Amino acid sequence: MRLLIHLIPFLPLFPSLFSSLFALSQTTCSPQHVNDNDDNSSLCQLHQFQLKIDHLESVLAESIQNLTEKIDRIEEREKRIDDMTQKIHHLQSVLSTLKGDSLATDERLRALEEEVRLLWAASRKYNFDLHVLESKAQDAEDRLETVASQAQKMADVVTEQWIQIQRLEQALHITQMRTVRVQRQLTRCIFLKFINNLSDDPRLKTLGPNFRSYFSRALHQFKRVFAEFKRSHHELQHFIKEKLEKNEFTAALANEELVFFMASALITFPVMSAWMLLSSKLTN
């Protein structure tokens, strides 16, 4: 079947073959020879036909040879076409695979681009946040420095004031000591003046002579006693201090000033009381 199909292109060759065959038969044996000898003529024609058949056979063989060669070439081409078709199929499949790969690659690429975009955005945001934090930290540092310098200044002021307070306390202490000393002297002076005034008091002059002499004697006696007391004033202070210190509740009060005033009060109280009593009697 396949051979027949391949023979189709060579069909036009066959009419040419038969026309050449007819031409040969017309030219070789002439009609006058037929009349001369029929046998010879028949043989001649037969011979002629034999020759023609031989020639035709050789042409046919050559044609078949040519045809076979052509068929071989065609088959070879068909084989090459098949090979090329297979190659084309292979290439098409490779191409489609590549296209699929390319699609996947494109998708992956787009995803990566999106990821990179997001990362850029995040990076910008982080940079901004970092900048804000840095400026805040700088502000805090500045404030800290300001506060630290203020604190240092205040500490200096406090130290200076503390020194001044120390000086003032010392001055106050010295003043207190002086005041105490002056008060002691003043108390003694007032007391002595009071005693001296007693004898010169004009109210004594209104009393009777007996009473006056009695009073001046008493006063004299008292002055003597007071001189004794004055001498032993220090001893009295010592005595009071001891008594105060023996009791646990009064021990805290046993300072120098209180002891002095208690001793003075012990001395002046009786005299003052006597004078008050006497004055009230005299006024009435």
Report how many residues bind ligand NAG under the rule CB under 6 A: 11
Q: Which is nearer to ligand NAG, 66 or 206 (CB)?
A: 66
Give me 168's structure tokens.
């003032």
Q: Is 279 in the site for ligand NAG (CB under 6 A)?
A: no
Which amino acid, residue 38? D
Q: Which is nearer to ligand NAG, 63 or 237 (CB)?
A: 63
The one segment of 76-84, 97-105, 172-180, 191-199 that binds ligand NAG by CB under 6 A: 191-199
271 within 8 A of 222, measured Cβ to Cβ: yes
Tokens 């032993």 belong to residue: 232
Q: Which is nearer to ligand NAG, 201 or 245 (CB)?
A: 201
Q: Is 199 in the site for ligand NAG (CB under 6 A)?
A: no
Which residue among 73, 79, 193, 234 contacts ligand NAG (CB under 6 A)? 193
Measured CA to CA, the distance from residue 278 to residue 284 in angstroms comes to 10
Give burial (CB, 10 Å; 0-12/13-18/19+) of 60.
Answer: middle
The one segment of 59-67, 106-114, 146-154, 178-186 that binds ligand NAG by CB under 6 A: 59-67
| Range 19-48, binding ligand NAG (CB under 6 A) | 33, 37, 40
The one segment of 55-63, 174-182, 244-252, 270-278 that binds ligand NAG by CB under 6 A: 55-63
Q: Is 14 in the site for ligand NAG (CB under 6 A)?
A: no
80 within 8 A of 60, measured Cβ to Cβ: no
Q: Which is nearer to ligand NAG, 40 or 159 (CB)?
A: 40
DSSP 207: S
Q: Is 197 in the site for ligand NAG (CB under 6 A)?
A: yes
Phi, psi of 170 (to 5 degrees): -60, -45
Which residue among 34, 59, 204, 207 contacts ligand NAG (CB under 6 A)? 59
Q: Is 195 in the site for ligand NAG (CB under 6 A)?
A: no
Residue 48 CB contacts under 8 Å (≥ 6 apart), including other chains: 24, 25, 28, 29
| Range 62-91, binding ligand NAG (CB under 6 A) | 62-63, 66
Measured CA to CA, the distance from residue 76 to residue 64 in angstroms comes to 18
Measured CA to CA, the distance from residue 48 to residue 46 in angstroms comes to 5
Which amino acid, residue 19? S
Q: Is 185 in the site for ligand NAG (CB under 6 A)?
A: no
Tell me how far, at minimum, the Cβ of 178 lies from ligand NAG, in Å.
23
186 within 8 A of 264, measured Cβ to Cβ: no
Measured CA to CA, the distance from residue 193 to residue 23 in angstroms comes to 201
Contact footprint for ligand NAG (CB under 6 A): 33, 37, 40, 59, 62-63, 66, 190, 193-194, 197
